[in-house]
Amino acid sequence: MRVARPGAATYVASRFYAYGFGDTQSNSFEVNNEGEVTIEADKATYQPGEAASLLLKTPFPGRVLVTVERDKVLNHFYVNTDQKSARVRIPISIGHVPNVYVTATAIRAITDNRLPLTVARGFVPLAVEKPGTKLPVVIKAPQQSRSQTFQTIEVTTAPRAAVTLAVVDEGILQMKDYRTPDPYGYFYQKRALEVQAYDVYPFLLPELGAIPAPAATATTSAAAPRPCPRAGCSW
């Protein structure tokens, strides 16, 4: 869409894609044509008992293997797509805390050789928070206080919680670059994806090269070719 004033030599342009929410029969949105499956989640964070609604956008119609992974394959199922898209629901359980990865491997039927892509992959992390694991803490205290005086500080948190208060010099903390400890962030930090996925297409088509699947690591960089992959979960 372009917007310009009458007679102006310049304009403002914006590109967008529109499709009905919850409907994957229309493929008017942009898809990736570089061998990747784009996965869009409906929420940024989930809780156990909920279901994640994911939109899979594939570069071609075909059959998609969907897996839920972290240190191992937790669940897997197949879904067919005829319109380069599919919507799936992933039940979230307590074992998914603090996060899991949903990977999608799309396989194209060999009916049209004009498209060189035969396999496309993608993954997305899902953050999962368990209610009650993070204590809310609210501190009410004066903004300023004179020396040699007493002040009343009110702390509000969950019942039967232990509270530790510390009065420190802000200038000293700045000099030492002190960081407030975050126990919750440490124990519930994001877990890495440890499943390495491989396919047999490089062996059927040697010109493609035997390389690990791009969605096998938690980073977006492709790993170096490994002619002898170690034993592990293979798909």
Domain that holds residue 160: 137-188
135-152: average pLDDT: 89
CB 119 within 8 A of CB 97: no
- How many domains in the chain? 1
- Cα(195)–Cα(223) distance, rounded to whole angstroms? 13
Residue-level pLDDT at 190: 94
> What is the model's pLDDT at position 102?
97
Region of residue 59 (phi > 0: left; psi between -120 and 50: alpha; otherwise: beta): alpha
**Would you state the structure tokens that stand for residue 152, as one six-digit string?**
């009343």
Spatial separation of the C-alpha atoms in residues 85 and 20, rounded to whole Å? 12
In DSSP terms, 154 is beta-bridged to: 140
150 within some domain:
yes
Q: Express each pLDDT in 46-104 by its tens digit.
A: 999 999 999 999 988 889 999 999 999 999 999 998 878 899 999 999 999 999 999 99
* CA separation for the pair 89, 54 (Å, rounded): 6
- Is residue 162 assigned to a domain? yes
Element (H, E) at 201: helix 201-204
Residue 167 in any domain: the answer is yes
β-bridge mates for residue 126, sequence order? 100
pLDDT, tens digit, 9 for 90 and up, residues 7-34 = 888 888 887 655 554 444 444 445 555 6
* 19 occurs within a structural domain: no
Q: Is the pLDDT of residue 131 over 50?
A: yes
Tell me whether residue 172 is in a domain: yes
In angstroms, how far is the first alpha carbon of the chain from the final one?
42
Is pLDDT above 70 for 207? no
The SS3 assignment for 94 reads helix
Residue 178 within any structural domain of the chain: yes
Report d(CA 22, CA 87) in Å as an integer.
7
* CA–CA dist 118, 86 (Å, integer): 18
Range with the poorest average pLDDT among 31-35, 36-40, 113-117, 206-210: 206-210
Residue 105: pLDDT band with limits 50, 70, 90: very high
- Asked whether residue 179 is domain-assigned, the answer is yes
* Residue 64 lies inside a defined structural domain of this protein: no
Q: How far is it, in rounded angstroms, from Cα 178 to Cα 176?
A: 5
Q: Are 195 and 71 in contact (CB under 8 A)?
A: yes
